[in-house]
């Protein structure tokens, strides 16, 4: 069916009726619940965009698995090194128009590669099943989300040691036609507006944790799959009917806890089933291809830089040397993240499965920089903007005829700029530093795709320290080498 | 009347009926408006505390100007070097119990000193007037707030160059019995729950800006004095009737834009009137004694450290080496702010007026460290805590019988800790990183008492670079010195 | 003559006899003076390397201007985007074997592009001349160095305002057969072991500074061209006849002040002569292609990481969690520099002249990161290694039979590692943190290719802040856009 | 004998003839060996200073243990809280004139307190012995050095587990008249120019390590006590006979490995002998009082700030906004260290022994800041100064008539400043960033009094995290508290 329009996308969820809760109630129509609607709106607009003749070439492709089928790039296989780089270049261009309208290419490409490896070793049919699943996704224009992070319970204990065995998703029953799984996945960005959920282990399992070594995909309206939305900073402003104080009305996203309450998964949707020695590979492969994409947090940095530069101008401070210096520092921090992403992609390698993956060490370098740089970018934006981010009166005060004249008069900056514009710009900065957008510019920058320590653990394990130690030994004369 | 009880304090404002707007409406009873009530509650509790025999000795004194009168320390004159240090030691102890129940000692002591200097030079009676004002405050147990930061309009222009002459507070009329002033002061923390407002210039004025060189004090219910409250992150959660999601229900503060719509000030309340050459002194003296007090942002750091350490324990991660390392980093950052405050106080000097002021350069060192350290402390807290800060379901979902069992089960951490406790702790961290508390832990840490650049401007001007240059010249043999 | 061997290279300088001074004396044979010899040795080895069948493919090419001529990559034109990236990949691989055996490709490619632009505009024959010069270089296997940084005198004044007009290199006479130039260029890395010097303006000139708007190339033994070497930290250890205390004996480099004492330049070597409006282009083009190459400072980071990891192992501390954490931090800092270089190259663009240049903004991002990251890498190396970097007895004490047994016994680390090895490794770290190598790992990282502020000035001027401001205006609803 | 003059001090060492090796030879006269002489000169000048009527009051006291005896403050007991603060104020004032003429008050006060505690518990006579020792020191005007850091061998093993049992100093024999000890102490700053060495354990010992639990004092010319000096960056410049290139000729210090080759210690000099449970106390007490004193590294920061400000002026760049900004950043970093020291002192507590010690947690905060701030101060100095730090020709070139005119002409900065002055100033910065002075501004700042991790280990163990966790629990409503 090619690519759904925005309206079709919303209708598809109205038909599916996934079981979603938000702010203490079931969201009967997920596309209309005020906590969820902005995410659906943003996503719907992106679907229209993918069909717009002016833009569609950049963001859609022809499927590798369904001949001739037009598909969104976000379910595309990474079939060349060039495309790895290109997705960052396009990603930066596109996200400016459609923030938070993400995708799932990371998971598709990670599962593609690891099911392939597993099939090679054990003769399982996981890769074939996944290919069929991907065809189905491509043919029907579906959106997918990956769920990985288990709720984990007591972090000092392994899955099998927890007092409640359900702290990590696991198989509780094997039936003739499939398996039954139980558990919960935390922090699922975008799962609310996805048709399918791909589920994989969150950590390395041991031999005695075979039941925890499961991977699969299911539709989000599967019986027993329950999603409970998390709340975001200043989320209630969505209910106020105002616009300025919202900050960036076009932007929206959701995170949910995805509960699997004895959910049945048919065999053709099972991609890992007890092969515990492949959990590391599946988990890490996804982690690495997912971490690299955080380089595109520079898109959010772009908003903060633009807003800080703009508000400085509105304030009459755009030429102050310390303001220029801080703006440039923001640019350097932001472009450094982008650079790391481009670099990891440019050093990508072809996996045995045929898809290309970014350099794994550099992918972790990307993410770790993001966990620091985004915070510093935000801090600088707050510094440049000034205290009005926090002390600006409510939009309702501005709309109140009694107080409006005072606000119009006293919150004016340079001549020629309406007070309203200045107020809007402050609220945009608030949005990305303390507001809903900070969910993406800070919280997700920190913990999405794994906390900072996870990147360091990976680098510590994978980095070739041995060759550098040998280099040092040669340099100081302990080992001899021809060209020293 | 000695020190008001909490109930008396609230009654006093119910009687005064200051003109305050919040979220588009006039707050008829400021102590009860949901945006303002938390601030009044916190303050009222502190007033009861000041009368509690167990604690009162630490936080109250006998007035220096009204013999025998018991007064809160927050309107006390700094009459010794020891007290400068002691106020930090006590301040740290006290604030843990009454966050955001601040005071105005900075302004009282700054105006005391600068009116004295002005009186010495010009024979004005400003200091005598201020002393009478202070007696009145002490006798009646009043609270004061200082307003300094003008709205400023176009920052590239001086007050007199603005297209609207009201961008800085100025005198618009001199009457027989006093003066009439117009303008607006931005970002006024605590002014809502103060009886009196002390107003002073925000910058150095020139000779042609005499009308802008005014200082005075007026009651907050003076005709023409209008306050419009700013909104804070997640402020609407105060309206939800929930408690967990509020983060720290006992805590509250307000910031307001204070508008002076042709307000009359009688002569006995005028403390500066055209002496433009004293604007620098008045502004800087206040800035310095105010900046030093930001060392007590360590009190907020204490909450973040405690919450991060606690949530790590709830998560079962308290012993992980990287967690310990980050907690210690938070301590170092936090204690460094406290240290700078103690140091500036310990090097305090006696002013000609008799009150003691902290070392001015070190006071600016304090504040500049705060503008960075508080952000890093918050970042580390977010790192340690994990993504649940942002993705935790609403308290209403926890109270919904349908979803509560899932939440209870899956958001549990280590055995023995109720899920509710863990949820509360995450929301406390959210409170101080993205929530209402971030108004104080971040926005105010950055911009309160002047943006970071203001401290650098001051240090650049006041620091004795000459003596260090001479030291360097001696060290490398350019200048000779006896003991080299 | 294709590529010189190491011996041929040294002979060529023994024949040329450039006028070079070091430590108060004329170096009669530059290849043998103890301050200069290490640089020649390193360079000579690299020349042998370029002829070694095992390696030569990676580091040599066929000339673009002299058909069939084999040339070192360091005088190669950048004729494709792929090569821009490849030079980093190869550069990292190669430098591990031959530190400080740099090249001049940056200058060749910058002058190629700007002379082309100038010729297009003014019909000068500069580009043709430069092409002929490059043919000569390629045919004769010569090495080139660029000199740009004038000594500058009083930095607050323009060239024409200086009390001594020679503070910037300028033309003092125009003859029939060429021009005569005077001035001095500071901080010339590698000029000592180059056959030819390319000279270009260091800053933007104005119309009244036409005489300062000159570019040219001359052999380093031209009459009037005098080089005075700078000294390096611990440079005298080269005279001691010891090896361990030298740190990294195979490594060497030089910096010189290059004085042009009324030097004659024939017309065929003049590439700019009064076209003041091209000084910016020539200066900036070089600055950008030069700054990007600083990404390869990661090669020095590699030594520090390897040495720190090795010494931690020798100390028995390699498994301590804080040591691992710091080693990984070093990797992240180091790879970030490399990533920025790869990224700038991957976004390279073709200039009108046909050669490709890295993205200019990202090139400046590279260099600015280097000015910070290298310092932090060094600091972490010192932290990991311990105080013995500084307190280790002299190699002479180790060679003294009286003290050797004590040193052997007490400076031993883990069993199985000779004390000598541990001593060598400490000295390697000293070399790159306080020693001669710090000239390259710190001083050059900071100031080479322009001080940190220069990169910020460039970014401030060239970065497209306007588009980000527009993005911000669209985001908060000030401007409308189709897909918002 | 009161306080020795500088000449008397030198004579005393010429008489003592301690066994000291440096650069492969025995230093027959330690006061004249070129590697050691600068340290003796600096120290001798300080002794003259202590007798100068203009200064002596600030730096000398009357002994607490020998009635009426005038003593240097550096062997004084800390007998009041005020003195703890005063020693920083004076320390800052004094060190500007006599860098690196340190003392040993830290060790005297630490051993005083811990021998007291041990005597209380076990009835040993260690405290009485130490008091007698201190009387002897005071009466004879002696200087002391503490040695703590064992060479440690394999850091992953305890003292008793090492393959060579001598990796930590231990008792090898008990005689009737005393004990015999063996081992070596690394990194001993100043021991060369001290009359007495106080030795204490470097770590917590266990019950099976009683022989390693020894503390004592011995004269530095005791038989078997051998000192081998470490080398410093650019140390050979002391042999060149030049002055400018030395950087700061008046400054000098030494570090030595102190070897105890079966050294006999009589009973009256034994202060710990097997009481393994006091090793922690002795080690930590010293560590804390020693760490706090690192706040005075701000004295070295003062040189760097002064030199950077001065060289900026010589360069004509003193008014550039980025230069001012960096100079102020240096000040903030530097004063922050000083502040932490003042604060730790101002919160000092009286020990049971009667002497006062700084707050132990804050003492560790001091030191940890120093390990970072000094490096950043150095980095900023290098940034401000420019590349000439590294590329300046040798002083011998400046003295060579052939090259001097070029250097005079081309290394001139602003008018009116001799080129020589500018050259000297660059070398002063080199001295403290790469040169001999970096031994103190960087290496010692990092590792003196324990590596950065040691401070974190201490804070992690001693900080009252429990009270902050409780605070957090109260704040979010888990625990109830009266005033919340």
- pLDDT tens across A256-301, in order? 999 999 999 999 999 999 999 999 988 899 999 999 999 999 999 9
Specify the range with the lowest mean pLDDT, choosing from A109-113, A322-326, B250-254, B269-273.
Answer: B250-254
pTM for this structure? 0.97
Q: What's the confidence (pLDDT) of residue D50?
A: 93
Of the candidates C291, B454, C456, A331, the one whose C-alpha atom is nearest the C-alpha of residue D323 is C456
Instruction: Report d(CA A162, CA A184) in Å as an integer.
Output: 14
Give tens-digit pLDDT for C49-74.
Answer: 999 999 999 999 999 999 999 999 99
| Mean pLDDT, residues D206-220 | 98
Query: What's the confidence (pLDDT) of residue D481?
Result: 76
The predicted-structure confidence for D34-71, as pLDDT tens digits, reads as follows 999 999 998 898 999 999 999 999 999 999 999 999 99
User: Residue C443 is nearest to which of D151, D316, D382, comparing CB atoms?
Assistant: D382
Smallest Cα–Cα separation from B252: which of B451, B78, B36? B36
Q: From chain C, pick out residues whose CB is under 8 angstroms from the CB of A248.
A: 475-476
Q: Give the span between the Cα atoms of A437 and A22, in whole angstroms.
A: 18
Q: C306 φ, ψ to 5°? A: -60, -45
Distance CA B146, CA B449 (A): 11
In the structure encoding, which two tokens stand for residue B262, read together?
């042709």
Confidence of residue D131 (pLDDT cuts 50, 70, 90): very high
CA distances from B421 to B234, B313, D464 (A): 21, 12, 21
- In this complex, the chains that touch A, judged by 3 or more CB pairs closer than 8 A, are B, C, D
State yes or no: pLDDT of D98 exceeds 80.
no
pLDDT, tens digit, for every residue of A170-190? 999 999 999 999 999 999 988
- Res B430: pLDDT: 97
Residues contacting C60, CB < 8 A, separation 6+: C3, C50, C70, C71, C72, C73
Nearest to A309 among C244, C424, C469 (CB): C469
Rg from Cα positions in chain C: 24
pLDDT band per the 50, 70, 90 thresholds, residue D484: low
Whether D105 and D76 have beta carbons less than 8 Å apart is answered as yes
**The pLDDT value given to residue B96:** 64
Question: Using 50, 70 and 90 to split pLDDT, how confident is the model at D252?
Answer: confident
What is the Cα Rg of chain B in Å? 24
Interface of A with C in 17-46 (CB under 8 A): 45
Say what the pLDDT of residue A249 is.
84
Pairing of strands D25-26, D19-22: antiparallel
Q: What is the pLDDT averaged over residues C127-147? A: 95
What mean pLDDT do residues B51-59 have? 92
Q: Where in D205-281 does DSSP place strands (E)?
A: 214-219, 225-229, 255-266, 270-273
- D193-199 average pLDDT score: 95
Rg of the Cα atoms in chain D: 24
Q: Which residues contact A433 (CB under 8 A, 6 or more apart)?
A: A304, A378, A381, A382, A389, A441, A442
Give per-residue pLDDT as tens, C4-48: 999 999 999 999 999 999 999 999 999 999 999 999 998 898 999
For D1-46, write each residue's pLDDT tens digit: 589 999 999 999 999 999 999 999 999 999 999 999 999 998 898 9
Chain A residues whose CB is inside 8 A of the C346 CB are: 85, 342-343, 346
Residues of chain C with CATH 2.40.110.10: 6-288
* Predicted pLDDT of residue C121: 92
pLDDT of res. A99: 55
Tokens of A25: 């109630």
**CA of C55: which chain A residue's CA is closest?**
A483
Class of domain B290-471: mainly alpha
Inform me whether the C-beta atom of residue A214 falls under 8 Å from chain C C-beta atoms: no
Q: Give me the pLDDT at residue A481, please.
A: 76
* DSSP 8-state symbol, B245: G
As a whole number, mean pLDDT of residues B92-107 equals 70
Residues C122, C228: contact at Cβ < 8 Å? no
Burial of C376 (0-12, 13-18, 19+ CB in 10 A): middle
The pair of three-digit structure tokens given for residue D394, joined into one six-digit string: 């040798």
Q: What is the pLDDT of residue C428?
A: 97
Question: Which residue does chain C place closest to A456, by CA atoms?
Answer: C328
Name the residue in chain D with its Cα closest to that of C157.
D316
According to CATH, where is 1.20.140.10 located in chain B? Answer: 290-471
| A246 min Cα distance to partner chain C (Å) | 9
Which one of 3.40.50.2300, 3.30.450.40, 2.40.110.10, 2.60.40.10 gives the CATH number of domain C6-288? 2.40.110.10
Q: What is the pLDDT of residues B236-262, one digit of tens each?
A: 999 998 999 999 988 889 999 999 999
Q: Under DSSP, is residue D367 helix (H, G, I), strand (E, B) or coil?
A: helix
Q: Does C339 touch chain A (CB under 8 A)?
A: yes
The 10 Å Cβ neighbour count of residue B288 is 27
DSSP-derived 3-state class of residue B108: helix
User: Cβ A234–B229 below 8 Å, yes or no?
Assistant: no
Q: Which residue from D minimizes the CA distance to A326?
A: D322
- Confidence band for D102, pLDDT divided at 50, 70 and 90: low
Of chain D, the percentage scoring pLDDT greater than 70 comes to: 97
Residues A467, A471, A477: CA angle, nearest 5 degrees: 145
Q: Using an 8 Å CB-CB cutoff, list chain C residues near B321.
A: 321-322, 325
Distance from C-alpha of A285 to C-alpha of A269, rounded to nearest angstrom: 20
Per the CB < 8 A criterion, the answer to whether C370 and C295 are in contact is yes
Report yes or no: D156 at the A interface, CB cutoff 8 Å: no
Distance CA B386, CA A447 (A): 6
Q: What pLDDT was estimated at residue D250?
A: 80
pLDDT of residue D482: 67
State mean pLDDT over C369-373.
Answer: 98
Give the pLDDT of residue B27. 97
In this complex, the residue of D98, D247, D302 whose CB is nearest that of residue B471 is D302
Cα-based torsion angle of the residue sequence C134, C140, C142, C144 in order, rounded to the nearest 10 degrees: -20
Give the pLDDT confidence of A236-259 residue by residue, as tens digits: 999 998 999 999 988 889 999 999
Q: Are D352 and D117 in contact (CB under 8 A)?
A: yes
Q: What is the pLDDT of residues C71-109, one digit of tens each?
A: 999 999 999 989 999 999 999 988 666 655 555 888 899
Name the closest residue on chain C to residue A342, using Cα atoms. C343
- Measuring CA to CA, which residue among D412, D458, D136 is closest to residue D280? D458
Among C319, C322, C323, the strongest candidate for a mutation testing the B interface, having the largest count of B CBs within 10 A, is C322
State yes or no: pLDDT of B211 exceeds 60: yes
Cα Rg of chain A, angstroms: 24
What mean pLDDT do residues B24-50 have? Answer: 93
Q: Which helix (H) or strand (E) holds B10?
A: helix B6-16
**Cα–Cα distance for residue pair A96/C468, rounded to 1 Å:** 9
Averaged pLDDT score across all residues of chain C: 94
Binding partners of B (≥3 Cβ pairs within 8 A): A, C, D
Show residues of chain B in contact with A157, CB under 8 Å. 316
Give me the pLDDT at residue D444, please: 94
Q: Provide the pLDDT for residue B481.
A: 76
- Model confidence at B94, pLDDT cuts 50, 70, 90, reads confident
Helix (H, G, I), strand (E, B) or coil at D184: strand
Contact of A467 with A413, CB cutoff 8 Å? no
D319 touches chain A (CB under 8 A): no
This complex has an ipTM of: 0.97
Q: What is the pLDDT confidence band of residue D96, given thresholds at 50, 70 and 90?
A: low
Q: How many CB pairs under 8 A join C and D?
A: 265
Q: Answer whether A390 sits within 8 Å of B444, measured CB to CB.
A: yes
């Amino acid at each position: 069916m090619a690519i759904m329009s925005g309206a079709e996308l919303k209708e598809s969820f109205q038909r599916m009726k996934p079981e979603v809760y938000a702010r203490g109630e079931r969201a009967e129509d997920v596309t209309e619940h005020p906590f969820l609607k902005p995410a659906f709106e943003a996503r719907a607009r992106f679907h229209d965009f993918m069909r717009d003749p002016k833009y569609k070439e950049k963001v859609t492709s022809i499927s590798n698995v369904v001949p001739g089928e037009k598909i969104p790039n976000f379910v595309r296989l990474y079939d060349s090194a060039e495309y790895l780089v290109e997705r960052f270049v396009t990603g930066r261009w596109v996200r400016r128009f459609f923030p938070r309208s993400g995708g799932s290419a990371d998971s598709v490409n990670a599962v593609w590669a690891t099911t392939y490896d597993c099939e090679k070793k054990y003769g399982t049919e996981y890769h074939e099943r996944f290919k069929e699943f991907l065809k189905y996704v491509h043919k029907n224009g579906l959106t997918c989300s990956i769920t990985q992070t288990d709720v984990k319970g007591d972090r000092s204990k392994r899955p099998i040691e927890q007092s409640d065995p359900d702290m990590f998703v696991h198989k509780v029953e094997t039936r003739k036609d499939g398996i039954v799984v139980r558990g919960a996945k935390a922090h699922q960005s975008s799962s609310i507006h996805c048709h399918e959920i791909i589920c994989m282990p969150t950590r390395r399992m041991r031999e005695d944790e075979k039941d925890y070594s499961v991977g699969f995909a299911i539709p989000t309206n599967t019986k027993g799959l329950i999603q409970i939305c998390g709340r975001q900073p200043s989320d209630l402003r969505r209910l106020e009917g105002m616009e300025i104080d919202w900050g960036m009305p076009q932007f929206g996203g959701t995170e949910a806890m995805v509960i699997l309450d004895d959910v049945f998964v048919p065999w053709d949707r099972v991609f890992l089933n007890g092969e515990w020695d492949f959990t590391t590979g599946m988990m890490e492969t996804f982690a690495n291809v997912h971490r690299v994409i955080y380089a595109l947090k520079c898109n959010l940095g772009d908003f903060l830089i633009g807003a800080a530069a703009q508000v400085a101008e509105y304030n009459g401070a755009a030429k102050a040397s310390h303001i220029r210096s801080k703006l440039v520092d923001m640019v350097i921090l932001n472009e450094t993240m982008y650079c790391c992403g481009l670099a990891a992609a440019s050093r990508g390698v072809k996996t045995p499965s045929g898809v290309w993956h970014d350099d794994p060490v550099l992918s972790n370098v990307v993410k770790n920089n993001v966990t620091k740089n985004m915070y510093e970018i935000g801090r600088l934006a707050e510094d440049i903007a000034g205290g009005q981010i926090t002390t600006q009166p409510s939009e309702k005060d501005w709309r109140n005829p009694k107080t409006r004249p005072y606000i119009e008069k006293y919150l004016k900056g340079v001549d020629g700029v309406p007070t309203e514009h200045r107020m809007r710009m402050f609220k945009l900065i608030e949005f990305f530093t303390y507001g809903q957008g900070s969910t993406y510019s800070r919280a997700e920058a920190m913990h999405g795709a794994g906390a900072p320590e996870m990147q360091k653990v990976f680098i510590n394990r994978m980095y070739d320290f041995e060759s550098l130690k040998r280099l040092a030994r040669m340099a100081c004369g302990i080992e001899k080498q021809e060209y020293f």
